[in-house]
Amino acid sequence: MESVIPVPVPPVVPIHGTAAVFPVRRIYCIGRNYADHAREMGMDPNREPPFFFGKPQDTVVPRGGDIPYPPCTSNLHYEVELVVALRKGGRDIPVAEALDCVFGYAVGIDLTRRDLQARAKDKGQPWDTAKGFDQSAPISPITPVSAGQHPHSAAIWLSVNGTEKQRGDVAQMTWNVAEVIAHISSFVALAPGDLIFTGTPAGVGPIVRGDLIRCGIEGLGELEIRVV
């Protein structure tokens, strides 16, 4: 059948050490998944059930690089996160079977227009303009899971212009990867190609034009962006 417009092509994320790519279907993000970040956002980490939001598929920026400072904000923030790439999905995935859905892991930045997010929270409005803007999801190449080894504990860090701003360990996540997959799949059917940003440790802060942001997760490599 002839298409009346050019058919949108899904973005693809490179796979570490191969020429293969991972096509992206959907992007889910978990909010406040590290207690110290929940506290810095003024929330009680002990009383917050997990919640998630989405970014459009085409917000992915494979390998990072130059990212234009987005419009309509004067408070752009970085949030370094462990990203889960799914090789299979389903509904109501049990926690015990959830890690079997994982193809691999990457380092991502959940770029956030914090001023628009604060306004949305005040007014009870959705977070789309705060979280889902163009090029808001830079991501490193994906490291496939090998021999069933998942990053249950790994250092996660981010620096701005050489000064470290965030440092934690993925073991500090309130809801671990298996629980996050199981939780999201109770609301929607997950599928191959889905990415899940799993939340950020404390230390989030503003970025200005010209800033060089480097971040990484032990065992998964690094990601670098420059805001231009």
Distance (Å, rounded) from C-alpha 24 to C-alpha 9?
Answer: 10
Q: Provide, rounded to whole angstroms, the least separation between the CB of residue 30 and Mn ion.
A: 7
When the beta carbons of 59 and 200 are compared against Mn ion, the nearer one is: 200
Number of residues that bind Mn ion (CB under 5 A): 3
Least distance between Mn ion and beta carbon 167 (Å): 16
79: contact with Mn ion by CB under 5 A: yes
CB of 72 to Mn ion, least distance (A): 19
The residue (of 57 and 200) whose beta carbon lies closer to Mn ion is: 200
Q: Are 53 and 83 in contact (CB under 8 A)?
A: no
Does position 194 interact with Mn ion (CB under 5 A)? The reply is: no
C-beta of 37: minimal distance to Mn ion in Å? 8
Which CB atom, from 15 or from 108, has the smaller least distance to Mn ion?
Answer: 108
The CB-of-29 to Mn ion minimum distance in angstroms stands at 5
For the chain, how many residues are written?
A: 228
CB of 100 to Mn ion, least distance (A): 25
Q: Of all residues in this chain, which one has the CB nearest to Mn ion in the complex?
A: 110
Q: Within positions 94 to 123, which residues make up the interface with Mn ion, using CB under 5 A?
A: 110
Which CB, 15 or 176, lies closer to Mn ion? 176
Q: Which is nearer to Mn ion, 79 or 194 (CB)?
A: 79
Q: Does residue 34 bind Mn ion (CB under 5 A)?
A: no
Give contact residues for Mn ion (rule: CB under 5 A): 79, 110, 200
